[in-house]
Structure 1
Amino acid sequence: MAEPTLTISDRIQQELDRLTRAERQLAHSILENYPASGLGPLTALAKDANVSTPTVARMVQKLGFKGYPEFQNELREELKAKAKNPIAKHDTWTEGAPSGHVLNRFTDAVIDNIRHTLGQIEPETFDRACALIADTAHPLYIVGGRITHTMAEYLFLHAQIIRPRVTHIQSTSNAWPHYLLDVGEGDVFVIFDVRRYENNTLKLAEMAHARGAKIILFTDQWRSPVHSLADICFSSRIVAPSAWDSAAATLLLVESVISAMQDINWADTKDRAERLEEMFDQTRLFRKFT
């Protein structure tokens, strides 16, 4: 049996690149409603994922289990462990609301997302990504999509203060090919792409990759197609009790990157921030209370 310290979700993530097309389809189906999706009969899981029952059996074995019953037993053990975990208990985060209130349900989901996301990140990989993003020897391009452009812009506004030569590209704009004219070997692209993965973003990544750019991808647990081109990929858990996905885990990573960039370039960042504050004073952009 596979290592007990890894959840079934973790094992699926580790195996994704080695799965067949049908097995990846099954993996995405399991993760979308994890862990409840694996607690029913094998035939029901196959039907929900629109794959054959042999596909389910093969993937279960690839995950390190002798068969589907052992796979289900491990899922049940995960549920028991989760029930014992103080983070996952039905304590109220907002004292004035019952445990079933949306504030507490959403908070539970976000904390679980953050725990799973950070559990899959190697500190050395994170440090390497921050070093690339902070490296002023190469221009930095930041790319977001229809929804993720908000996180891209958040990173961009901070990166502008921390270092020079930063460009914000919106892949939804028809003008984005213009930005690629000056892209060269070793330039760095930070790309945000979560489901429903955008065609423009993939094409932009392909063209940047062909020009020798390095790509750092922020995506979800199912991973954007861009991940096959990325030098570094951060997969955040995004599922929440909402019709929309949660960006909290991704935003935590982005703010951590900003903090690391600031530390790496502190001398220059301090100087740039001071000059920016002088310009703010000249434009009277902010109110003064002294």
Structure 2
Amino acid sequence: MALKDKLIDSEADYTPAERKVIRVLLANYPVAGLATASRLAQQAEVSDPTVIRLATKLGFSGFIEMQQALLAELEAHMNSALTMLESRKPTVSAEGLYQSYAEATIAALKNSQSEILPADFNEAADLLIKARKRIFCIGGRFTGFLAAILHRHLVQLRPGAIWVNGSLADLAEYVADIGKQDLVVAFDLRRYQQDVVQFARQAHERGARIILLTDKWKSPIASFATVTLTGPVDTISPFDTMVPTMVQLEALVTAFTGKLDKEVRPRLEEIEHYRRLNNVVLDTPANAPSKPRKKQRAKT
């Protein structure tokens, strides 16, 4: 098994400090592991012994042997015919641009699979599922659209989903309402935005938990986020892609609906009833049979 596969092994029992080291390794694999143990520990904000313990847990006699394995993987990768072929791709023609872009985006998606620890994704999903009060969704100039998409999903699945959108002055009104039982989902890809970072920081200071979806360079929010999910943004376009982050978003929604199917279904049925009643969409007639669920009276 390659070292990268060991790092993302969902069955492995890693400590929170060891997961910090793994995140740094995966974010810049394998280069991050070629520095000194002290440098790697500094980047992960853990102690030097934590790095050594992780190397031992991965089956190596120590950090030096782990580095040797990384160097061997790197050498094999650099010398493979497939890698050389990849590095010599012809210039994209106008006729083949779509195909080339699609392939580059698919490659980014595949890379995103190895950048996220299953434990981190599960933690983010659990935070969404178990959120006691409100869920605030926020993003920047472009990532704000991702925040809006997550909000549109959540508002169908549960009450209390809020899309945070507006100027810094407007954001202050949202921050003033945030408490310890609230959750913030922040989307922040490079170039990171001051208003998004400030909102998340102030929400954190008020006790809210933070889920951050960002890139491998990580938004400043990562320094205090409860859990951080990273994804690649590079393709052949001069603009960063948001497709891997969008897939992460949809995966979180899928996890939410999968765990709370019985709780979600009545709400969706009631929403659908009123959509049909108001002839909101064109694929169902206004007189289609549908009944809203009855509100259950509290037992006394």
Shared fold, TM over 0.5: yes
Q: 1:195 aligns with which of 187, 190, 199?
A: 190
State the 1:288 CA deviation. Answer: 4.0
Cα distance in 2 for partners of 1:206, 1:98 equals 45
Query: What does residue 182 of structure 1 align with?
Result: 177
Assess if the C-alpha contact under 8 Å between 1:146 and 1:172 holds in 2: no
State the 1:89 CA deviation. Answer: 10
Cα distance in 1 for partners of 2:27, 2:280 equals 52
Question: CA 1:250–1:274 in structure 2 vs 1: closer, same or farther (change >3 Å)?
Answer: same
Cα distance in 2 for partners of 1:160, 1:82 equals 50
Cα distance in 2 for partners of 1:143, 1:227 equals 15
State the 1:18 CA deviation. Answer: 2.5
| Mapping of residues 7-26 of structure 1, within 5 Å | 9-12=28-31, 18-19=42-43
Q: 1:236 aligns with which of 231, 239, 259?
A: 231
State the 1:111 CA deviation. Answer: 2.0
Query: What does residue 124 of structure 1 align with?
Result: 119
Cα distance in 2 for partners of 1:243, 1:231 equals 31
Cα distance in 2 for partners of 1:266, 1:89 equals 46
Query: What does residue 51 of structure 1 align with?
Result: none
Q: CA offsets per residue over residues 86-137 of structure 1, 9 Å max, x none? A: 9x6999xxxxx98982222222222221222111222222112111112242
Query: What does residue 254 of structure 2 align with?
Result: 259
Assess if the C-alpha contact under 8 Å between 1:189 and 1:216 holds in 2: yes
Q: CA offsets per residue over residues 15-51 of structure 1, 9 Å max, x none? A: 777249xxxxxxxxxxxxxxxxxxxxxxxxxxxxxxx
Assess if the C-alpha contact under 8 Å between 2:139 and 2:147 holds in 1: yes
Cα distance in 2 for partners of 1:220, 1:82 equals 29
Letter paired with 2:144: H
Cα distance in 2 for partners of 1:16, 1:183 equals 36
Structure 1 portions without partners, runs of 5+? 21-60, 92-96
Q: Which is further off, 199-208 or 107-116?
A: 107-116
Letter paired with 1:277: E
Question: CA 1:19–1:193 in structure 2 vs 1: closer, same or farther (change >3 Å)?
Answer: same
**Counterpart check, 1:101 vs 2:96:** yes
Query: What does residue 113 of structure 1 align with?
Result: 108
Q: CA offsets per residue over residues 44-100 of structure 1, 9 Å max, x none? A: xxxxxxxxxxxxxxxxx9x947xxxx97x86563244581799x6999xxxxx9898
Q: 2:209 aligns with which of 195, 207, 214?
A: 214
Cα distance in 1 for partners of 2:104, 2:253 equals 25
Question: CA 1:289–1:229 in structure 2 vs 1: closer, same or farther (change >3 Å)?
Answer: closer
Query: What does residue 78 of structure 1 align with?
Result: 77
Query: What does residue 219 of structure 2 align with?
Result: 224
TM-score by length of 1: 0.71
Give the number of equivalent residue pairs. Answer: 238
State the 1:195 CA deviation. Answer: 0.5
Assess if the C-alpha contact under 8 Å between 1:99 and 1:105 holds in 2: no
SS of match in other structure, 2:185:
strand
Question: CA 1:237–1:170 in structure 2 vs 1: closer, same or farther (change >3 Å)?
Answer: same
Query: What does residue 199 of structure 2 align with?
Result: 204
Letter paired with 1:9: N
Structure 2 portions without partners, runs of 5+? 8-25, 34-38, 45-63, 286-300
Cα distance in 1 for partners of 2:118, 2:238 equals 32
Letter paired with 1:113: A
Cα distance in 1 for partners of 2:251, 2:144 equals 18
Cα distance in 2 for partners of 1:90, 1:275 equals 56
Query: What does residue 146 of structure 1 align with?
Result: 141
Cα distance in 2 for partners of 1:228, 1:157 equals 28
Q: 1:159 aligns with which of 154, 157, 160?
A: 154
State the 1:271 CA deviation. Answer: 0.7
Cα distance in 1 for partners of 2:93, 2:130 equals 48
SS of match in other structure, 2:263:
helix
